[in-house]
Amino acid sequence: MGPEERAIRELHSTWIEAVNAGDLGRLLTMMADDVVFLSPGQAPAGRDGFATVLPAAHQRARIRCVSELEEVAVVGEVAYARSRDSLSVTPRAGGDAMRLAGDRLTVYRKHPDGRWLLARDAHTLTPVQSPSS
């Protein structure tokens, strides 16, 4: 594994840690100014949309994401990572956790200062049916 792939893998892990912690400030430093997030059934969102949704979600629920990288490719100044994600969302007011799972494709772009930044992110997270359903 080369240094660029290692940097993408580290960035992916740091991103997931910051999502789980609800650390919006840290997440904003890891994304490009023109970032686009694609989620099923929702309009594409940029930095401002993300900055609104994440804190509100963490206020309502405890969020725990586990992301298993399945593929990383680096081609020049662009890289992508494909992962299999699972998400647990437990309401802070009480109640059962909602579980979601799906695939994620993240595109990174190398910033002129040498940092890799998240540029595009698309996922297929959908609710997981419990065995008793």
Assigned architecture for domain 3-127 = Roll (3.10)
Burial of 53: CB neighbours in 10 Å, binned 0-12, 13-18, 19+:
middle
Answer yes or no: are the C-beta atoms of 84 and 58 closer than 8 Å.
no
The pLDDT score that the predictor gives to residue 131 is 67
pLDDT in tens, 8-27: 999 999 999 999 999 999 99
pLDDT in tens, 23-47: 999 999 999 999 999 999 999 999 9
Domain boundaries, the chain: 3-127
Closest by alpha carbon to 15, among 29, 35, 1, 34?
A: 29
Answer yes or no: are the C-beta atoms of 85 and 66 closer than 8 Å.
yes
